[in-house]
Structure 1
Amino acid sequence: MSEHVMACIDGSGYSTAVSDYAVWASQRLAAPLTFLHVLDNHLPPEEGNFSGNIGLGSREHLLEELASLDERRARIAREQGRSMLDAALERARDQGVEEPLARQRNGELVETLSELESETRLLVLGKRGESAHLASEHVGSNLERVVRAMHRPILMVPETYRDPQRVMIAFDGGKSTRKGIEMIAASPLFKGISFHIVMVGAGVADYRAQLDWALDTLRRAGLGVQGAIRAGEVEATLRAYQQENDIDMLVMGAYGHSRIRHLLVGSTTTAMLRKADIPLLLLR
């Protein structure tokens, strides 16, 4: 079974960027591209639904009208989703993707993505979905739940696309980030792109040895890379380095290596998710 770049689109302002980054990844990985729209059946109750207070004489008639209204609402949602998928397919074809696919599924997003995990090579989704709060640092609960549930790389993207040229890897020497370095070295996704490996902590001999290993691993793969060890608070230090070096994309491990965090998104990752204004690739 082929593993696809799976792009989640909805009615939010992120869908265009999701499409563009998914096309970028699909073409670099030479992997098939699938656009996915999930219709959540757990819709919030409509205002003015007083079915529980309906009198006996009219109760059956009004309940039928409410059921009919739900059916119409579901049909409209399906049609809107189909229209969004058609637009994404056309955009991908215009950018040179020969046979992009589209899937519309009913159900809950995290459960649907878990079901499709075996078909997914890379998951691309926006920082916030259409139902998320609009505050600039808010990360919708769906995104954090997806990160916890999935065992595939996840590319979380901002609202606008920028062709990645300079990629920063947040490296802590732990098992997950060492595995991430090896994944990057073996993947065609970043060929020809400049890398910055950044460790946050004191520049002691142990840190330097770990950084040298990471630099050597990527250089042996033919990638251009430079490294730095910075002192300071992790999230603020990474953000400062990003801004100083005009970084286009950040790569992180989705979890810290503390056992206490094994079921939770690491605190640094959560902070970066909240404040990210560039794509964030989370490696598992």
Structure 2
Amino acid sequence: MKHVFACLDGSASTIAVCDYACWAAQRLNTPLTLFHVLDEQRYPAPTDLSGQLGFGSQEALLNELTALDEKRNRLALQHGQNMLDAIQRRAEENGLQEIRQQQRHGSLVQSLTDVEADIRLLVIGQKGIDSNDSVRMGSQLETVIRAVRQPILVTPKQFRSPRTVMLAFDGSDTSRKGVKMLAESPIFKGMPIRLVTVGNNDNDTKAAIEAAANHLREYRHDVDFDIISGAIEPALHQYQKQHNIDLLVMGAYGHSRMRHLVLGSTTRKMIQASDTPLLLLR
């Protein structure tokens, strides 16, 4: 069975990531995996450097440095384990019963790629432990979103249980996949849904979004839709704030104007400007 994966690193977003992952796992009736990666750049694996510095005092110094590195890594692993144990207790208090832990040492992206077949939904914070207060988006987040093909829920620092959802709809395969997911996934059951297209209010655009809304209504969803104009990122966020939308769903890649949600441009801006969770689809 696939799991909801909570990507945890001890940053200020860790509690929110846990709570959003618990919320999603409960709505999906899916087990939860608490996932922590000890970054290989900050904590490199022990390396055998014997013979590179020679003998005598230099060799003694090398041995001492190696011992210090090994102790530092052991402490970091134990710190990570303590964090996972604390988060598991919080998840259990939130009502989760099926919980497992995974701790790895290496690259975050490679570690997630290795377990991708087990991921139903990846939950990750907007900023990680290495990000300072002046940035709105963590340094590794973009790389993770490019690499992982499963849905990714990017969370803000504070948890608020989503009650309303909005899909940025453009008629692309990705947005149609979003409509199907909204229609069928238990995570959205009972949540009012808004479909929003940024573009020209012509007959083709209106027909496409009406068809999507009707499909959702077939699944007994409460649906409204709108076609709005303007630059994509500010138009979507303004609409979201005006209608008090808790959760925004959008595609991460595409080709047309609305579908040009390519990381490095619109998707990055959407993540950086968002104070609410953002569910990204591929």
Fold match, TM over 0.5?
yes
Kindly state the Cα deviation for residue 264 of structure 1 after the two structures are TM-superposed.
5.3
Structure 2 partner of 1:157: 155
Kindly state the Cα deviation for residue 175 of structure 1 after the two structures are TM-superposed.
1.4
Contact 2:122–2:153, Cα closer than 8 Å, also in 1: yes
What SS does the corresponding residue of 1:12 show, helix, strand or coil? coil
Kindly state the Cα deviation for residue 99 of structure 1 after the two structures are TM-superposed.
2.5
Contact 1:173–1:211, Cα closer than 8 Å, also in 2: yes
Contact 1:252–1:283, Cα closer than 8 Å, also in 2: yes
Structure 2 partner of 1:51: none
* Cα 1:203/1:264, change in 2 over 3 Å: closer
What SS does the corresponding residue of 2:140 show, helix, strand or coil? helix
| 1:16-27 superposed matches below 5 A | 16-27=15-26
Q: Which moved more, 1:265-274 or 1:123-132?
A: 265-274
Name the aligned partner's letter for residue 203 of structure 1.
N
Contact 2:195–2:209, Cα closer than 8 Å, also in 1: yes
Aligned counterpart for 1:195 among listed residues 193, 196, 211: 193
Paired with 1:234 and 1:103, the residues of 2 have a C-alpha distance of 38
Q: Cα deviations across residues 201-237 of structure 1 (Å, max 9, x unaligned)?
A: 1211111011101111111111111111111111010
Q: Cα deviations across residues 63-94 of structure 1 (Å, max 9, x unaligned)?
A: 11111111111011111100110011101111
Contact 2:131–2:138, Cα closer than 8 Å, also in 1: yes
Paired with 1:112 and 1:202, the residues of 2 have a C-alpha distance of 42
Structure 1 partner of 2:48: none
Aligned counterpart for 2:246 among listed residues 242, 248, 273: 248
Name the aligned partner's letter for residue 201 of structure 2.
G
Aligned counterpart for 2:231 among listed residues 230, 233, 255: 233
| 1:174-213 superposed matches below 5 A | 174-213=172-211
Contact 1:256–1:266, Cα closer than 8 Å, also in 2: no
Kindly state the Cα deviation for residue 58 of structure 1 after the two structures are TM-superposed.
2.2
* Cα 1:85/1:44, change in 2 over 3 Å: closer
Structure 2 partner of 1:48: none
2:138 corresponds to 1:140: yes
2:262 corresponds to 1:268: no
* TM superposition score normalised by structure 2: 0.92
Paired with 2:277 and 2:261, the residues of 1 have a C-alpha distance of 23
Kindly state the Cα deviation for residue 42 of structure 1 after the two structures are TM-superposed.
1.7
Name the aligned partner's letter for residue 20 of structure 1.
D
What CA RMSD, in Å, does the superposition of the two structures yield over aligned residues?
A: 1.9
Paired with 1:140 and 1:92, the residues of 2 have a C-alpha distance of 24
Kindly state the Cα deviation for residue 262 of structure 1 after the two structures are TM-superposed.
9.6
Q: Cα deviations across residues 15-55 of structure 1 (Å, max 9, x unaligned)?
A: 0000000001001111110100101122279xxxxxxxx89
Q: Which runs of 5+ in 1 are unaligned?
A: 46-53
Paired with 2:133 and 2:63, the residues of 1 have a C-alpha distance of 35
Name the aligned partner's letter for residue 200 of structure 2.
A
4+ residue segments displaced more than 4 Å: 54-57, 261-264
Name the aligned partner's letter for residue 58 of structure 1.
S
* Cα 1:264/1:56, change in 2 over 3 Å: farther
What SS does the corresponding residue of 1:105 show, helix, strand or coil? strand
Paired with 1:35 and 1:188, the residues of 2 have a C-alpha distance of 22
Structure 2 partner of 1:50: none
Paired with 1:174 and 1:185, the residues of 2 have a C-alpha distance of 17
* TM superposition score normalised by structure 1: 0.91
Kindly state the Cα deviation for residue 266 of structure 1 after the two structures are TM-superposed.
6.5
2:215 corresponds to 1:217: yes
Q: Cα deviations across residues 146-203 of structure 1 (Å, max 9, x unaligned)?
A: 1111110000000000010111111111111111111221111100011111111121
Kindly state the Cα deviation for residue 267 of structure 1 after the two structures are TM-superposed.
2.4
Paired with 1:226 and 1:262, the residues of 2 have a C-alpha distance of 24
Q: Which runs of 5+ in 2 are unaligned?
A: 45-52
* Cα 1:102/1:162, change in 2 over 3 Å: same
Contact 2:250–2:280, Cα closer than 8 Å, also in 1: yes
Paired with 1:151 and 1:55, the residues of 2 have a C-alpha distance of 48
What SS does the corresponding residue of 2:122 show, helix, strand or coil? strand
Q: Cα deviations across residues 101-160 of structure 1 (Å, max 9, x unaligned)?
A: 1111111100000000000000000001101232242x2231111111111000000000
Name the aligned partner's letter for residue 77 of structure 2.
R
Q: Which moved more, 1:5-14 or 1:265-274?
A: 265-274
Name the aligned partner's letter for residue 172 of structure 1.
D
Contact 1:121–1:152, Cα closer than 8 Å, also in 2: yes
Structure 2 partner of 1:41: 40
